[in-house]
Amino acid sequence: MTDITRSGFRAKSKFGKTGGKAVQYILIAIALFWTLAPIYWMLSTSFKSELEATRLDPTLFPEAPTIANYVGLAGSSMPFFQFFLNSVLSCLLAAIVAVIIAVPAAYALSRAKFRAANSVGYIILVVRMFPMVVLLAPLYLVLLNTGLLNTLFGLVVGYTTFGLPFAVWMLKGFIDAVPIEIEEAARVDGYPRWQVLLRIVIPLIYPGLITTGIFVLMEAWNNLIYPLTFITDINKQTLPAALVLTFTGQFKTDWGGMMAAATITTLPLMVAFFAVQRSMVRGLTAGSVTGT
């Protein structure tokens, strides 16, 4: 009797285990499909001819794969390499500027004992709460009056404005995780505060700097509304904005060409993401581990 009960129980628990695993895999599969399907569709469409791309019964795989769209991009009258360069330059610069400004701010917020430290931190974060569009008009006026409208540097200012609060908060988390005794030891060793920041804190949060920079960069890279608004000269346009401007016409959209361009736009971002993936995971969990 006991044997039967026990084996029955075991069978049930075994089923429960496999059942649970199955549910797990199904959920993961759904999540994967959700994220990867658009990327697949972009890739697959970029290899389709114009006719196939706009068929009423869309094909899952390109029937006659062609690289015509990519060749078209290279030979097009539009300066795609220039767009790419504009994107890289403005986003990279925005990431660097944001991190450079954010480090001392985050350090002050993390270590300072002044009474308003907390409220200042939240005020910085409030900028994040606004929809990007709300900042558009004031930024436009600022750029207009400083003569930075329609310049890449103006774009950098725009990206930085939106990326900075996030960068400050993210870096604050990294700095919080550095034990204060390490800094105090350096102070006792005779170093003034700013040197402690440079020689001790920054080397210790190095992965955090990279991670934060990548986050700001990714956000800037995907930003569509700022370049569309601030840049009027097509030669100074960034990739995402150029895609919209050049491939969507009033009567016809070149889907194949657009997807080819989109692929090229996404690729650097993916490469950047995988390159820092390890330090990113470390970065996001840094605050949860005590000690060094």
Partner 1 sequence: MARIRIENVEKDYGALTVLHDCSLEIQNNEFIVLVGPSGSGKTTLLRLIAGLEPISRGDLYFDDTRVNNLDVSDRDIAMVFQNYGLYPHMSVFDNMAFGLRRRGLAKLEINEKVRRTAELMNLQDFLERKPKQLSGGQRQRVALGRAIVRDPEVFLLDEPLSNLDAQLRVQMRSEILRVHRSVDATAVYVTHDQVEAMTMGDRIVVMDNGRIQQVGTPEELYDRPENIFVASFIGTPAMCFLEAKTNGDKLLTDGGDLPLLPDHRERIGEREHVTIGLRPEHLLVGEGRPTVSGVVEVVEMLGAELIVHFTTGSHTLTVRLPRGEKYRPGDQVKFGVTMDQLHFFDRDTGQAL
**Which residues sit at the interface with partner 1, rule CB under 8 A?**
179, 181-182, 184-192, 200, 203-204, 291-292
Q: Which is nearer to partner 1, 203 or 249 (CB)?
A: 203
User: How far is 68 from 70, CA to CA, in rounded Å?
Assistant: 5
79, 235 in Cβ contact below 8 A? yes
Residue 174 or residue 215: which is nearer to partner 1 going by CB?
174
State the minimum distance, in angstroms, from the CB of residue 183 to partner 1.
8
Least Å distance, CB 109 to partner 1, is 20
Structure token pair of residue 71? 């060749």
Shortest Cβ 123–partner 1 spacing (Å):
23
Of residues 147 and 192, the one with the C-beta less far from partner 1 = 192
Token pair for residue 274? 């995988």
Residue number with CB closer to partner 1 (205 or 262): 205
Q: Where are the alpha helices (DSSP H) in the chain?
A: 2-46, 50-53, 68-75, 80-111, 117-129, 132-146, 152-176, 180-188, 193-196, 202-204, 206-222, 225-230, 239-247, 255-285
In whole angstroms, how close is the CB of 206 to partner 1 at the nearest point?
8
The region, left, alpha or beta by phi > 0 then psi within -120 to 50, assigned to residue 147 is: left
C-alpha distances in Å from residue 248, one per residue of 74, 150, 256: 18, 22, 11
Nearest to 197 by CA among 267, 104, 272: 104
Buried residues in 61-97 as b, exposed as e (16+ CB within 10 A): ebeeebebbbebbeeeebebeebbebbeebbbbbbbb
We find the least distance from the C-beta atom of residue 205 to partner 1, in angstroms, to be 10
Rounded CA gap, 149 and 145, in Å? 8
Q: How far apart are CA 31 and CA 237, in angstroms?
A: 34
Query: Cβ 284 to partner 1, closest distance in Å?
Result: 20
CB nearer to partner 1: pick between 5 and 113: 113
- Minimum gap (Å) between residue 192 Cβ and partner 1: 6
Q: How far apart are CA 106 and CA 18, in angstroms?
A: 47
- Which residue's CB is nearer to partner 1, number 202 or number 245? 202
156 versus 196: smaller Cβ distance to partner 1:
196
Q: Decide if 95 contacts 220 (C-beta within 8 A).
A: yes
Task: State how far the Cα of 207 lies from the Cα of 63, in Å rounded to an integer.
Answer: 45
* Nearest-approach distance from CB 202 to partner 1, in angstroms: 10
Q: Which CB, 127 or 204, lies closer to partner 1?
A: 204
